[in-house]
Amino acid sequence: MHIADKKKWLRYSVSAAFLIIAIIFARAVWPIIAPFFVAIVLAYVVNPWLKRTGRLGIPLIVSLIIFYVYVFLGIYCLVMFTAPIIIEQLQNLFAYLPQLFDQLKAAGNQILPGNETGGTADMLQGFGKDIAQSLEKRLTGYGDTLAAKVMTLPKLLVFFVLSPFLSYYFLRDKKNILARIMSLIAPLRRIEFLRLMRELDHLLRQFISGYLLISLIISIMSAVFYYIVGLDYALLLGVFMGIAELIPYVGPY
């Protein structure tokens, strides 16, 4: 092996070891660095909005307040309008599951009359009931978990207040932070590094926005179609279809 190759492998090995140590360290101190991580993500998401409002002469703090107010109002309205319907449809679905399994057993007996399908139908019915009971217990358990989480509500409030607050300082000092990062890059590689970062930023934003838009369209179209044909649990199934669409390959099926 040439000396250049040995240096390359040594550099890769040191980088991999440093990355592993950084991941282990991050997991150990995650409760402390979590607000900073969320603040960086928020700053990245909000940055295009600030560029547009900055051209209009709107101050940074005012733009951030407007953005967060719109986001929180949107989430609040979405939860208030859809959560009661989804919860009601979930309750009705769990109440209907035993009857559904009985209908599936009867359909199996019609397809394969006699003793040919008795054991299989009973097995499928028992398996389906076990799944339904497991899901019901899990959802019931979420209530207890939520009650326990309420006890840590002050910590959550600090987290959700601190992250947007930190994102403001990241955005305000964005130029200084980028300058510090660029100082770590070799001068001959800075132009190439900036080009790659711009391409990565463009592709990442296009990918995320496209995926979320497709999921939203699928969810709305599915819910509307199910409602038109008179299918029960239309909104619940539409939301499920939208979430499943986010899973590559598996979701569409």
pLDDT at 110: 64
For 41-70, b/e burial (b = at least 16 CB within 10 A) is: ebbeebeeebeebeeeeeeeeebbeebeee
Residue entry with tokens 């994102």: 167
Give the residue ranges of DSSP H helices in the chain: 3-28, 30-55, 60-111, 118-151, 153-172, 174-183, 190-228, 234-244
Residue 24 has pLDDT above 80, yes or no: yes
The answer to whether 112 and 129 are in contact (CB under 8 A) is: no
Percent of the chain residues topping a pLDDT of 70:
72
Span 33-53, pLDDT tens digits: 777 888 888 888 888 888 888
pLDDT at 117: 46
Residue 253 CA to residue 251 CA, distance in Å, equals: 5
pLDDT at 80: 81
Q: Alpha carbon of 61 to those of 21, 35, 68, 141: distances in Å? A: 37, 19, 11, 41
> What is the model's pTM?
0.61
Residue 238 CA to residue 245 CA, distance in Å, equals: 11
